[in-house]
Structure 1
């Protein structure tokens, strides 16, 4: 039997799995880490101390478990696949040393001025024509320009700008690459038509030779070096694929790859990937390619979700209570307690409505200045009402994205949900009730790491196409939409929209 290793780097946690060619989980492990917020509107990770540290720890742990439990050696692992939060911007020097901490995806909103400058220099319509999407905090290009403008000494030393999965691939193989699915979010650098870097727009941000080589996720781009083998426990020569963004690997892991399938990822933020038959240009969502040529997607994502519930649990149950540090509470105990309490609050949270824009907002609002709000607070409200209102506010933001998809004519035939949030039954039901959708829940919800393992199998020729993931996936239950509370949710959803429209100018002033 042959095996593949899949590892994913998330916002607050990294996960890894060892899988055989039939999709059986041989070993799995997870490592928590911190999200660094050095200034308001910034979000960073230390690439060496977080990304590479987690990879090394997970790799060694998985190989050890496989050896102890099944007698599997590192030599039997045929390939390694990685994914990470995306897009991230990490400048490295010629020795591969990170020159600063990685600037993360849309939760980092520092590049507002650079977005405005690029829209002015290139033209908003031209930006949209090149990349198929408008610039927002999700775009990586303006963050490169931010480094060039604010940290010129870093920029001058930069050999390559890498993404999260790209840095892990570099550490393993010495190759500097980026998969095309991730590269689309390097707007406005990537041309959605040619599927190559666009020389016209690149010139406004950086030099072309500072960009990594473009590839497809299933491509084998190198092998594990002897130095990397010593640090990870992998065998030298183990093949390494290009990898991709965490959300795409999540979608593959649950079989949400058929036309009309929508992956709904409940993570630190919520993310959506709808498999489409064509590139659907829209300024409200993010059109994208897939991990293989010829397939397309329509994607979107909120700025907060699990990060918001984590913040609330931390504040209400004590500093870092949600992480289980400096307390007698485990992570699971803390969230279980708050969910039980929230279940005591009725649908509609006793008249409390939350705008979940605690880190700006991504799709479809695209407003880095958006602020969080709890509207309707009174002396009668409890933390249970507040927590339920957070879940309902996130659900409203999800519905807003689904409404836009419907308006675009994008057909959603099936929703498959995954991520840490699927453990929260109240949240799942809230989304189904507010959005009036049915959600399929798969048996294995390990997430992106499992998807990485399947992508490895494709690279090795174990699978002929994406559709064969159906043999790995077993849907075990569905969350059905309720009808009893539709009136209160419809009323609150209307107020949710009006609250933002009436206060967005004040948010910017603040």
Structure 2
């Protein structure tokens, strides 16, 4: 059903592109989660997304094991989190072992799409590097699997490709559906946050960027795996030889979506700009903590919840709404607390369309914000 929807929506969009102008295709998508398929390439269950927290109790159990999280971080570059594919695989082993028996391999989101386009099955290093690889050598870590008690899942892992490698070519069937030419090369692609770094130009050591989207994810490009903060994590950059030091809020724009639904008649935050501009910075003393679904950066607490502070009899809906935007800007600032102040902050994502929010972020972080004119840096 989902793949059929992809045909309909994106096939129509491709009709506006001259087919012979497309020379190659790159794919990106949301990270982590697990997409399990059988030997015929059919899903054995619904995908489990990164935002699913069903493994939270298991995460807490492993966090209580002395020294384990530090040991795993030294290998994989990530703390223990419910979003980790490694923890989701552990949950499946414990609660749905029959699902793993049915599965022949697993994909990440973009890998599934690439498989449909090419018929070729691969994993790619930036996605797999979110919790399952030894980042020093770029290979599957048997030690991570062993420590989490999921060694037998190693048989589900497909061969790895770097982001820029050619993973296959457009098949005849896909050409008929989309109008694309048969044989167009399709590269392995990259995790969304890694691909965005490349697309926005954050490619040099020390470059900082934030994706104003579902997670409001902040990344710092680096050449090494030096840990600055306990809640940081590392993933491979789309540009080989580099890493991204990530601080991904559990929820970014969902805070805004909630506020719009409760405080306005609009679902489009851009339509509220004039309303918010009328509210002075500081929102009359109102402060918002953006933990609507818990938090994972710059601290870990799945039970944390959002809240307003400083409400008085003079507080209006507009104060509350602007406080949500400012609260997210403060959270982004917290993510950068252990890094040198000043410099540029590249901004991407749907939220970058709001000049007001860009100004709020610039004011809170003390950085020069830079955006691109391209509407979608990665698709």
Q: Same fold (TM over 0.5)?
A: yes
Q: Secondary structure at the match of 2:23?
A: strand
Task: Report the equivalent of 2:246.
Answer: 299
Structure 1 equivalent of residue 123 of structure 2: 178
The alpha carbon displacement at 1:216 in A equals 0.6
Judged with a 3 Å threshold, the aligned counterparts in structure 2 of structure 1 residues 276 and 201 are, in CA distance, closer, same or farther, namely: closer
C-alpha separation between the residues in 2 aligned to 1:108 and 1:180?
22
**2:208 corresponds to 1:265:** no
Per-residue deviation, 1:391? 0.6
1:340 aligns with 2:270: no
Residue 320 of structure 2 aligns with which residue? Answer: 386
Change (3 A) 1:367 1:54: farther
CA contact (8 A) 1:59 1:233 kept: no
Aligned to 1:61: 12
Alpha-carbon deviations, 1:271-329, whole Å to 9, x = none? Answer: 122222322235321123222432232122112222211122123346xx52xxxxxxx
The answer to whether 1:109 aligns with 2:53 is yes
Q: CA deviation at 1:121?
A: 9.2
* Count of residues in Structure 1 that have an aligned counterpart in Structure 2: 374
Deviations for 1:391-434, whole angstroms, at most 9, x for unmatched residues?
1110110000011334xxxx874321111111212211111111
Q: Quote the offset at 1:197 in angstroms.
A: 0.6
Q: How does 1:326-337 map to 2 (within 5 A)?
A: 334-337=268-271
Residue aligning to 2:106: 161
Q: What residue in structure 1 maps to residue 370 of structure 2?
A: 440
Segments of structure 2 that go 5 or more residues without pairing to the other structure are: none
2:330 corresponds, among 393, 396, 407, to: 396
Distance of 1:292 and 1:338 partners within structure 2? 38
Contact 2:223 2:241 in 1 (8 A): no
1:91 counterpart SS class: strand
Question: Which residue of structure 2 aligns with residue 221 of structure 1?
Answer: 167
TM-score by length of 2: 0.91
Alpha-carbon deviation of 1:82? 0.9
1:344-383 to 2 correspondence within 5 Å?
Answer: 344-383=278-317
Find the counterpart in structure 1 of residue 158 from structure 2: 212
The two structures have a TM-score, normalised by structure 1, of 0.69
For 1:90, the equivalent position in structure 2 comes to 35
Does the residue aligned with 1:350 lie in a helix, a strand or coil? helix
- The secondary structure found in structure 2 opposite 1:100 is coil
Change (3 A) 1:412 1:436: closer
Mapped contact 1:181–1:244 kept (Cα < 8 A): yes
2: CA distance, partners of 1:260 / 1:412: 12
Question: Paired residue for 2:183?
Answer: 237
Contact 1:254 1:445 in 2 (8 A): no
Contact persistence 1:251–1:257 (CA under 8 A): yes
CA contact (8 A) 2:33 2:83 kept: no
Alpha-carbon distance in 2 for matches of 1:431, 1:151: 43
The Cα RMSD (Å) is 2.2
Equivalent in the alignment of 1:28? none
* Alignment match, 1:423: 353
Aligned mates of 1:172, 1:243 — CA distance in 2: 13
Cα distance in 2 between the residues matched to 1:275 and 1:53: 37
For 1:429-452, what per-residue CA distance to the aligned partner results, in whole angstroms no more than 9, with x for missing partners? 111111111111222242213xxx
Gap regions ≥5 residues in structure 1: 1-47, 67-71, 323-333, 450-510
